[in-house]
Amino acid sequence: MDSIEKSNLNRQFLFRSWDIGKMKSTTAAEAVKAMNPNMHVRSYVDAVSLETEHIYDDHFFDRLDGVVNALDNVNARQYIDRRCVYYQKSFIDSGKLGTKASVQVVVPFLTESYSSTNDPPDPSVPICTLRNFPHLVEHTVEWARDNFASLFTIPPQQADEFMQNPKEFAERTAKNHSEYDKTEIIENVKRILGEEHPNSFTDCIKWSRNLFEQQFHNTIAQLLYNFPRDHITSKGERFWSGNKRCPHVLKFDAHNKLHLDFIFAASNLLAHIYHIPQIRDRKLIAEEVVKVHVPEFKPKAGITIHENDEQVRADLERQKNMSAMRKNGQSANDVEVEQILSRLPKPDDVLDIKIQPHEFEKDDDTNFHMDYITATANLRAENYEIQRADRSKIKRIAGNIIPAIATTTAMVTGLVCLEVYKFVQHHKKIESYRNAFVNLALPFFGFSEPVPPKCQKYLDKDFTLWDRFEVKGEMTLEEFIEYFKREHKLVPNMVSAGMSVIYSPHFMRQTSKAQDMKRKITELYETVTKSKIPAHVRSLTLNMLCDDLEENDVEDVPFVNYTFP
């Protein structure tokens, strides 16, 4: 599903300039066949994900000897890792980040999996720094990126979900969110479908002009009202000192290119959401924006502005506790769902509104995404007298781009190939394999044996993440339970598939329990999940909580691979 970009050409020798825009997998396969006609390569263009398990199914994985990975995000790697553990396939993961690179070898029954350990999280910028006290352009870019999502992605998505199925949206909101979050979600939907709904591009310009005033004048004016330039803390120190840069408000000027850049981008982004024809004539927009009346802002007393992250966390904890007290452990009920629906627009009143949320895409220069983020980041930098950045630097920060280096790519590919040779030669000892950690900038080259899998025990048997109970052939629930009593000396007292509980005697009525014991596992699965098992699925992954035959708890047991015809 990934296409070739110009930046790929400096480090991927299978691609040429005339391949830009083509799919990577098919182009690479064609290039390899041209180099060696005797090599057989089958290319796919579908992403490997939950949605494509009908393509990458049991038959697909059964034909593989192993998997070599080169993905660009952790979630995708963890998904592939789970599939390789499930199918007991060898797996080599590799990655690079500028001058850094790593290789991890995963061998069934010999090593831990990729997901067994996690890298420490990257240090994040304190919330208060982003909200009120930035001192680096990186802070203003991150703020602009979040601001983009909070205006053009999340609220339109919520409004679109509401319009698709109002009752289901209300149930999900009631069940999954705190009172504070519910209020925010409801207000988002009301704004998108009512208060802020533009009818013309002129309305989009008005909205953008007011947004400029709110973000770069009013918010800063309120901050300076709470903490004046000469404000002294309770410790007798100057509040605006050190990394706390005292801001100043911006007064809109239609002749200022940066100010007009913001209006130009924001207006077109809003127009896109509502399917209003966009206008790319800057002169026309400049003529319209000066006609917009903006109400005078007066700072308010009693507005709380957090000075540090401790205050933010305390406030969030207070909101969480209040929400818990209101909810009192109850799940969403019909009354709560109806209350939420009553606060939202009536579905019949918004039938004609079509919503199109933005999904951030940094590499499309025509979608106004980077135009908005560049203008917003630099305007906020101007608020705080931080040196502005050019578009390319802001794009690198917003897209978290670290330039790829051909040397790193070549080196990590070579290290992966060395481990592939060991797979092909069927090495069975863990000491034969090597994980690699490299930083060419230092330079540092580190190699280590893979870590063996964590060993657990049930009854007197050891097991690891690679082990499972194999149950082949359809069984009734009663037969399933008797099988584990007889073969494994275990008494299942809960059987689940994903988030769905198939069997739990403590929560079943006696009448339904007697009926369910005679039903097949697949029937029960379809009943509790309210969905048919897809035709390509030949097995279910079941998890169990068990006692031993003396009714003592058994802490952990392997999962069940339940295979049916």
Residues with catalytic function: 128
Across the strands, what pairs with 310? none
Cα–Cα distance, 246 to 385 (Å, whole number): 8
Q: Which residues pair with 445 in a beta bridge?
A: 438
Which pair of tokens denotes residue 58?
């049991």
Give start and end residues of each alpha helix (H) in 191-291: 201-213, 219-226, 257-273, 282-289
Locate 214 and state its tokens: 């709110």
Contact of 262 with 250, CB cutoff 8 Å: no
Measured between alpha carbons, how far is residue 137 from residues 49, 132, 376 in Å?
36, 13, 11
Question: What is the distance in angstroms between the CA of the first residue and the CA of the last residue of the chain?
Answer: 32
CB contact at 8 A, 246 and 329: no
Amino acid at 203: D
Tokens of 117: 């350990």
Q: Which two tokens stand for residue 256?
A: 């200022």
Q: Which residue's structure tokens are 């070599």?
A: 68
Residue 536 burial (CB count, 10 A): 13
- Report the residue count for the chain: 565
Residue type, 16: R
Q: 526 to each of 496, 521, 522, how far by Cα in Å?
A: 12, 9, 6
| Helix (H) or strand (E) segment spanning residue 335 | helix 334-343
Output the CA torsion sign for 379, 385, 386, 388: positive
Q: Can you read off the two tokens belonging to residue 186?
A: 């409801």
